[in-house]
Amino acid sequence: MRFNLWLPSLMQISLLAGGLCASPAALSQEAAPADPSAIRIAYLTQEVEHPPALSNLDEPPADEGLAGATLALADNNSTGRFLKQRFELEAVTVPIDGDPAQALRELAAAGHRLVVLDLPGETPGALARLPEAANLLLFNAGSTDDSLRNALCAPNLLHTAPDRAMLADGLAQYLAVKRWTKWLLIVGTRPEDRLYAAAVKRAAKRFGAEVVEEKTWSEDHDARRTAQAEMPVFTQGKRHDVVIVADEIGDFGDYVMYRTWEPRPVAGTQGLVPTNWHRTHEAWGSAQLQSRFKAAAQRTMLPRDYAAWAAVRAVGEAATRTGSTAAATLTAYIRGPDFALAAFKGVPLSFRSWDGQLRQPVLVAADRSLVSVSPQDGFLHPKTELDTLGHDQPETGCRR
């Protein structure tokens, strides 16, 4: 019964090669054969209710994630036409009260083997454990939960989204370089804020910083009306070099800046942010990706767009390198030692063998300037400096 109610509201969008990439006359002789076996990629997301936030200047776009997957599909098809490979994307959006597990079962039943999950929290871990998902390759492009890379990891689950530990480590390395090692940590009341704070505390320990004091910003302040009065008093405390905020939905973090008791920079979820993607990033050819995205989506590229882009491009890269359209071949290549994705971050990206996480540089950005890119010089690693960010092999909690 519930299933029947859910089905009609399921939005299904099929984006086919022909509709997406222009194919002017010069290319007609290069056109794909009449009936090529298309490489099918599914994209699964769920509508979410955005909780009310004090800072509500920016409306979150409805297509964050999907727009990235769509651009990557166009990139794959531009390459694919030279190799007679065609890619299709089927995007499924489950409504707020819908069941993503059922949607994934449907996709598996329809023959999908490669699925990008743009879902929050621990949902990707639960979906990966469905019996129907056993033969799928799932890309987590939406959840930064560290648990998915540890206790809830799964052999069929890769992560193109960074985890909180990776982000916090990227920030911590930069703060260590600046020698801003005494941190005042302000945490929101939501569960994900506490997870972010946990990653910050872990990073402090790893890179020689100290959380001198931790405070919780409870929801009974009216920061917008009385921020001038509340924040200075609230940020009084032990001597610190920098204020770190853990406020994932952007409820109060923007009101900390310029209102602290001491003149201190603000970093974390607001202020100086560690992120997998940012509009200020233009090095290593990313200016091209930014403008291609903007032309296609009519807005700037956001972190989930980049994670979904990387997942769909990973499939494209595997198809290019193996010359195959078979999901099993592509899956094996993506997980194998030869996989390397050029993804506008100056170094080739690949998936960690122990937890399926995409190793990637972390951008450290202010609103209108890219401040730095981690790993920072001097944080050494025997294999790749990218593994100084997040959960390295010796410390992984993934037993898959």
Kindly list the residues in this chain that would bind another protein in the complex (CB under 8 A): 23-24, 26-27, 29-30, 75, 78-79, 82-83, 285, 288, 291-292, 295, 320-321, 340-342, 346-348, 384-385
In the complex, what is the shortest distance from the CB of residue 83 to another protein, in angstroms, rounded to a whole number? 8
The token duo for 169 is: 């480590």
Query: Which residue is associated with the tokens 């506490």?
Result: 194
Of the pair 54, 343, the CB lying nearest another protein is at 343
Q: Residue 206 in contact with residue 172, Cβ under 8 Å?
A: yes
Of the pair 355, 385, the CB lying nearest another protein is at 385
What's the distance, CA 212 to chain centroid?
A: 30
Backbone dihedral region for residue 18 (phi beyond 0: left; psi -120 to 50: alpha; all else: beta):
alpha
Of the pair 30, 97, the CB lying nearest another protein is at 30
Of the pair 75, 355, the CB lying nearest another protein is at 75
Query: Residue 207 burial (CB < 10 Å; 0-12/13-18/19+)?
Result: buried
- Among 127, 107, 160, 155, residue whose Cα is nearest residue 311: 160
Of the pair 279, 321, the CB lying nearest another protein is at 321
Give every strand in the sheet of 87-94, ordered side by side. Answer: 11-15, 87-94, 39-46, 114-118, 137-140, 157-159
In the complex, what is the shortest distance from the CB of residue 25 to another protein, in angstroms, rounded to a whole number? 9
In the complex, what is the shortest distance from the CB of residue 119 to another protein, in angstroms, rounded to a whole number? 27
DSSP 3-state of 18: helix
* CA–CA gap between residue 185 and residue 202 (Å, rounded): 13
In the complex, what is the shortest distance from the CB of residue 383 to another protein, in angstroms, rounded to a whole number? 10
Of the pair 11, 340, the CB lying nearest another protein is at 340
Q: Residue 273 in contact with residue 214, Cβ under 8 Å?
A: no
In the complex, what is the shortest distance from the CB of residue 286 to another protein, in angstroms, rounded to a whole number? 11
DSSP 3-state of 198: helix
Of the pair 200, 389, the CB lying nearest another protein is at 389
In the complex, what is the shortest distance from the CB of residue 394 to another protein, in angstroms, rounded to a whole number? 20
In the complex, what is the shortest distance from the CB of residue 149 to another protein, in angstroms, rounded to a whole number? 22
Torsion angle of the four alpha carbons 50, 186, 363, 168, in this order, in degrees rounded to the nearest 10:
-110
**How does 153-176 read in b/e, with b if 16+ C-beta sit within 10 Å?**
bbebbbbbbbbbbbbbbbbbbbbb
In the complex, what is the shortest distance from the CB of residue 294 to another protein, in angstroms, rounded to a whole number? 11
The DSSP-derived string for 251-285 is SSGGGTTT--SS---EEESSSBEEES--TT--TTT
In the complex, what is the shortest distance from the CB of residue 196 to another protein, in angstroms, rounded to a whole number? 28
In the complex, what is the shortest distance from the CB of residue 170 to another protein, in angstroms, rounded to a whole number? 16
Of the pair 30, 395, the CB lying nearest another protein is at 30
Of the pair 27, 151, the CB lying nearest another protein is at 27
* CA–CA gap between residue 214 and residue 43 (Å, rounded): 39
- Among 102, 128, 108, 97, residue whose Cα is nearest residue 40: 108
In the complex, what is the shortest distance from the CB of residue 322 to another protein, in angstroms, rounded to a whole number? 11
The CA radius of gyration of the chain, in Å to the nearest whole number, is 22
Of the pair 231, 373, the CB lying nearest another protein is at 373
Of the pair 229, 342, the CB lying nearest another protein is at 342
36 cis-preceded (ω within 30 degrees of 0): no
